[in-house]
Structure 1
Amino acid sequence: MYLYGNTWRQIRYKRLVKFPLCALCAELGVTTAATVVDHIVPHRGSKELFFDSSNLQTLCEHCHNSHKQRQEKSGTLLGCDAEGNPLDAMHPWFRQPVE
């Protein structure tokens, strides 16, 4: 099943127009133009995930080819935002202490 056709190109274009900045760079307090529309949860051929607009984010090529690829392989998003908080929402830093 080929998903990257005209429909995808239209979705990609509209997404980049609506969200022209890299989402990961923005979390770091850096302004970078987005060039890639990324699937937050890898679609692995699933049409539902592939075309789900809530599963899309815009990234710069560097973030897509480094941070995002590393996250998909290891399951962890490395790095911190401008305040020093981990970028990975599942990081132990965000866990509530047990009383």
Structure 2
Amino acid sequence: MPPWKRWYKTARWQALRIEIFVRDLFTCQCGCGVIEGDTSKLVCDHKIPHRGDERLFWDKTNLQTLLKTCHDRDKQKAEQSSLHTRGVWH
């Protein structure tokens, strides 16, 4: 397991995650504007993928609140659109 995966289990991440939700007023930032008080349905998303870069991982300006459904849908869309660049179609 990459070392950065452990960062998600830390108290520091859990506190930062809630801080971002509060900052964003528990509102999805994808554009749908849905407000969700149940934090199990929210994701603290990295706008720019950190890819193990500790500075990007903890950067509050790189974090946003997304509904889990929006996060998963958009992430899936991005991954599907990059299949050709990852060698799947070659």
Question: Which one has the bigger helix percentage?
Answer: 2
Alignment correspondent of 1:38: 45
**Residues 38/72 of structure 1: CA separation in 2 closer, same or farther (3 Å cut):** farther
The equivalent of 1:56 in structure 2 is 63
Alpha carbons of 1:72 and 1:51: their partners in 2 closer, same or farther (altered >3 Å)? farther
Q: Does 1:3 align with 2:7?
A: yes
Q: Distance in 2 between matches of 1:66 and 1:32?
A: 18
1:23 aligns to what? 29
The CA distance in 1 between the partners of 2:11 and 2:34, in whole Å, is 29
Shift of 1:72: 4.7
Cα RMSD of the aligned pairs, angstroms, is 1.9
1:52 partner amino acid: D
Query: Which amino acid letter does the alignment assign opposite residue 67 of structure 1?
Result: D
Shift of 1:68: 2.9
**TM (normalized to structure 1)?**
0.63
* Counterparts of 2:76 and 2:17, CA distance in 1: 19
Q: Which fold has the larger relative contact order, with Cα–Cα distance below 8 Å and residues 6 or more apart in sequence?
A: 2
Deviation at 1:47, TM superposition (A): 0.5
Aligned length: 72
Ranges in structure 1 where 5+ consecutive residues have no aligned partner: 76-99
Which digits, 9 at most, give the CA deviation of each residue in 1:13-44, with x for residues without a partner? 111122111011xx24x434261100011111
Task: Say if 1:21 and 1:59, in contact at 8 Å, map to a contact too.
Answer: yes
Q: Counterpart in 1 of 2:19?
A: 14
When the two structures are superposed, what TM-score results if normalisation uses the length of structure 2? 0.68
C-alpha deviation, 1:74, in angstroms: 2.4
